[in-house]
Structure 1
């Protein structure tokens, strides 16, 4: 795998508070939108992660933050790197609550951020469901200009059943109902649709289609929503949906999905921080 360089940017500005970190944080709860098109409830049994994860940040600036269902239960650490001269990955997802725990996945993205393919790597580790390293490409969709950020990112991955063909998924920028339901007061994020999935034929306008499906009738299997402000308590909220909640897509898919969502959130956060800095200096 070729090494990439990254645009030098500081992490998002975190707002320090005198309140304990658990103040105002909702309790651990499964998403309320695990309902199928026929009205039946999805059985929630995700393989590796809880159905909902929040991003929690430290009291001081650091390149490591944590994921967990609540502020008191921070289960996984994430380390970020964004330096022009560094060959380190943009995202490192750890299998544990510190950056000393084994790495579950890395995401390498070049300095153009959201206009060139990124690489998701799942290294072999003790207890992993795969033998050897797995490497997949996260490919941005076309944009109006070569310098514009893409509003879609797609990746393919082997299905849990090895006799099945590879499955294709696509992250889409979204302001839809699923994003708003996941994080109150937030209207922007990303939804992951199962492009090669069975589909449903229940697409259409937001007012007409069934919750949990895209306008073209594809099932939404994961979402990530931005916090309205990059505060010390929560920077984002992530959730599995539909088939993503059942465990049928497997642990490898869950890790690739979460790590790619983290990349999209982090690049958005960097761009928001940069825009705020420009506005402040104007």
Structure 2
């Protein structure tokens, strides 16, 4: 496979209103953390520890790290000193480039691990998440998962569903859904923040659902398991944009490497759409007052 395109520098056609330059504001105005401090909860208390997790491709928890300079590339890693993967966001409203490009290494010169392809109607049209064949991978063909807005239609809040074959050999199709959340799992991951939780739709339904105060940690109100989270950073750090974590069955490695890649890429996509929404709102407010 050829080398990934160099997407480090922001193209001249993109202005300072590129969504990565308008990060969401902190969720609370009285957060005691500083930019140099680590989050209060490095790993949610209800998750297994790093030493017992068995994720296949990624660490059980990662942050999104950004640079001050004008760039469309940021990094994923468990700490600022251990940035493992590069993520490029070359898309603008008026082109058809992928929205998110996840690289299999810490620079955008490393092979592409996955892309998310959407357009300016991405909130209402399916988004294609593509995993191209990679050197050393067991499969010779690309995997394309359709990331469909609306999900199960059981919830009024925004949701996106996808189906992918899980397991070590990738032979068992299952459905998953990202749901927007302000729940306890998000708060334990990143403080008083907001984000998305990934629900396993085809897993067993448990009798642990109910209201937020009554249900067990790691389960939804309808008794479904939460297997991943992504939360906007609640601290004042301007270089750490979000916190991602696998949880529950997502920590066991049983879902397989391709599942983990699709989960991380789709998490980046929903986070990026939130950032795009923030940028659009800021631009509209600026235009209204100018």
Report the TM-score, using the length of structure 1 for normalisation: 0.84
Aligned match of 1:177 in 178, 184, 196? 184
Q: Secondary structure at the match of 2:275?
A: helix
Aligned match of 1:165 in 160, 172, 175? 172
CA change 1:183–1:161 in 2 (3 A) is: same
- Report how many residues are paired: 261
Structure 1 residues without counterparts, runs of 5 or longer: 1-6, 16-20, 36-40
Aligned-residue CA RMSD in angstroms?
2.8
Distance 1:141 1:179 in 2: 21
Distance 2:267 2:244 in 1: 8
The answer to whether the 8 Å contact 1:183/1:237 transfers is yes
1:28 Cα deviation after fit: 9.6
Distance 1:120 1:197 in 2: 22
User: Which piece of structure 1 moves more, 196-205 or 99-108?
Assistant: 196-205
Distance 1:156 1:245 in 2: 19
Structure 2 residues without counterparts, runs of 5 or longer: 1-13, 24-33
Structure 2 equivalent of residue 3 of structure 1: none
1:37-60 CA deviation, whole Å, 9 max, x = no partner? xxxx99411110001110000121
Aligned match of 1:135 in 124, 144, 154? 144
1:159 Cα deviation after fit: 1.5
Structure 1 equivalent of residue 75 of structure 2: 66
Q: Secondary structure at the match of 2:180?
A: strand
1:241 Cα deviation after fit: 0.5
Aligned match of 1:77 in 86, 89, 96? 86
1:63 Cα deviation after fit: 0.5
1:107 Cα deviation after fit: 0.3
Aligned match of 2:20 in 7, 12, 33? 12
Distance 1:42 1:198 in 2: 27
CA change 1:131–1:27 in 2 (3 A) is: farther
1:185-222 CA deviation, whole Å, 9 max, x = no partner? 31x10000000012322111111110000000000000
The answer to whether the 8 Å contact 2:165/2:173 transfers is yes
1:24 Cα deviation after fit: 1.7
Q: Secondary structure at the match of 1:12?
A: helix
Distance 1:275 1:143 in 2: 28
1:231 Cα deviation after fit: 4.7
Q: Secondary structure at the match of 2:213?
A: coil
Report the TM-score, using the length of structure 2 for normalisation: 0.82
1:227-254 CA deviation, whole Å, 9 max, x = no partner? 2478532111000000000100011000
The answer to whether the 8 Å contact 1:28/1:69 transfers is no
1:39-96 CA deviation, whole Å, 9 max, x = no partner? xx99411110001110000121210000010111100000002223423210000000
1:145-191 CA deviation, whole Å, 9 max, x = no partner? xxxx97010000012154853011011011100000000131x1000
The answer to whether the 8 Å contact 1:68/1:74 transfers is yes
1:127-146 CA deviation, whole Å, 9 max, x = no partner? 224322111100011799xx
